[in-house]
A and B are shown apart, each in its own frame.
Chain A
Amino acid sequence: MSAIEKRQNLDITTIRKQFPILNRKVNGYPLVYLDNAATSQKPQMVIDAIVDYYTNYNANIHRGVHSLSQEATDAYEQARKKLQQHFNAAKTHEIIFTSGTTHGINLVANGFTTLLKAGDEIIVSALEHHSNIVPWQMLCERTNARLLVIPMLPDGTLDIDAYDKLLSPKTKLVFVNHISNALGVINPIQSIIQKAHEFGAAVLIDGAQSCAHIKPDVQAIDADFYVASAHKMCGPTGVGILYGKEAWLRKLPPYQGGGEMIAEVTFEKTTYADLPHKFEAGTPNICGGIAFGVAVDYLNSLGFENIEAYETKLLHYVTDKLKSISGLKIYGDIAEKTAVISFNLEGIHPYDVGSILDKLGIAVRTGHHCAQPIMDYFKIPGTVRASFSFYNTMEEVDSLVSAVIKAKQMLA
């Protein structure tokens, strides 16, 4: 029996009480928050951790001999340890704190500037978020490497046959998101990584959309780099991680210069600090890192198998319900996906649908979801995207469905 068929045992009523924001009203209606792919809401324990840090032990880390600094350093490094365990990295120093996924991607892209030569090739997927395309275009401009794209099939999955043909000894890097942000499709990253490794290429996986739903095991999938953002995982904004295999992290030059990342500095020469500090210039988001650790503890206390099982139930329920609305088209409607549903009503602009849903207290995302190439492929201006979390309920799905029907009546 696969994980998704296991009985879920989350107590959603109790869980919802842990998220204070879910009590609020929007435009006179109870908030139905279905924009979790953009950012998740925060449980009280994460909010408490932030308040506790600034109330009780705010200090700069890794330098002060005083007690507060020691406490803050311990808490920050303990968070790194938690993240190492969560992602199953082999070593703690393979976890680099970043400001988020985009920062992690840029750190790697910048590092490869010295490792690439003209004619080398970088492969990205057509399902990428803008932030995962631009840094590679910039890297190609700096190095004269070529950027190749794995095309998308009509069902929203990647064309793996085309990927096989793109791979060659010239391939140096492959960049794929674990889960597409616009469609929620889960990519077969394990086989993508394995095939890239046959040609000696490194692989970076963008975990921005996956980490709230599944627990990635970076060693099992054999990723060379993996990036994630705390704010999509019930943690605060402005903090994330880059996982990198030690060997790769040692090969990459530092990204930014500053305090924390140096061992010795003279005007003649600077020697860099060891991992992970080599990539962590300046005072980091200390509070954010600590709260990220708390958020991961929280998610693990619920259990990812339970989260996955419950969200799958939500996805099936919303998919069936929305499909019963005539003229509604779902994009990326395949089995291997997370609880994200991207759709349009025939002949109606997604912006109009989103405006009506907002008036009814329902938060969805409309637009191209920073994935313009996918929208161009489907020849649509955008979609309405409802993205679910474990704290959403079947009743909220019903509210969404009634609101979509209402929008259709008003706009048709």
Chain B
Amino acid sequence: MQIKEIQEEIVDEFSMFDDWMQRYEYMISLGKSLPLIDPAYKTDDHLIKGCQSKVWVHAEMDSDLVKFTADSDAIITKGIIAILLRVFSNQKPKDILEADMDFIDQIGLKEHLSPTRANGLVSMIKQLKLYALAFETKRKQNT
């Protein structure tokens, strides 16, 4: 599925909730079901630096698609990661780089974009896109 389609699907899912509490409960359940990251990648090298919750991200290429795995020590953050990985994992680096993130606002998670939520969405998205950029640059060099 294309990134845009996945985002629309997520917006649809979130539109079923009446209030923030249901949205958060859903995110918490997503966080709990996030596949475990290989412990070998849960190192400081994979840490997104910040002052609130810790986030580890690993990326690798599988044929021409980027596969992300990630973890956090905070469950709501894990829920956010689960949403981001659903959007970005198994996509082409170029598509990841070009993706816009308007859907975040539409699913009512805008507050997590605030700069005071250090280590929130903004730095995570930046990190995922950096990985995509690295893979894309490498691909261009090899062709």
Contact = CB atoms under 8 A, between A and B. Distances in A.
Please determine whether chains A and B interact with each other in the same assembly: yes
Interface of A: 27, 348-349, 351-352, 355-356, 358-359, 366-368, 381-382, 410-411
B77 interface: yes
5 contacts: A348-B75, A352-B75, A381-B73, A411-B75, A411-B76
A381 B75 CA distance: 14
B67 interface: no
B131 to A, nearest CB: 24
Contacts of A27: 20
Contacts of A359: 20-21, 24
Given A381-B73, A411-B75, A349 B21 contact: no
Interface string B20-64: 110011001000000000000000000000011110000000000
B122 interface: no
A100 to B, nearest CB: 19
Nearest to A381: B73
Q: Which of B20, B21, B28, B53 has the most CB of A within 10 A?
A: B53
Given A349-B75, A356-B76, 20 more contacts: A27-B20, A348-B75, A349-B53, A349-B73, A349-B77, A351-B52, A351-B77, A352-B74, A355-B76, A359-B24, A367-B52, A368-B51, A381-B73, A382-B52, A410-B21, A410-B25, A410-B28, A411-B28, A411-B75, A411-B76
Given A367-B51, A410-B25, A351 B20 contact: no
Contacts of B52: 351, 366-367, 382
Interface residues of B, number: 15
Interface string B77-96: 10000000000000000000
A351 B24 contact: no
Contacts of A358: 111
A368 B54 CA distance: 13
Nearest to B112: A355
Q: Which of A349, A351, A366, A367 has the most CB of B within 10 A?
A: A351
A351 B54 CA distance: 10
Nearest to A356: B24
A351 B25 contact: no
A131 to B, nearest CB: 15
Give 5 closest A-B pairs by Cβ, nearest first: A349-B74, A351-B74, A351-B53, A351-B52, A352-B76
Contacts of B76: 351-352, 355-356, 411
Nearest to A370: B51
Contacts of B21: 359, 410
Interface in B93-137: 111
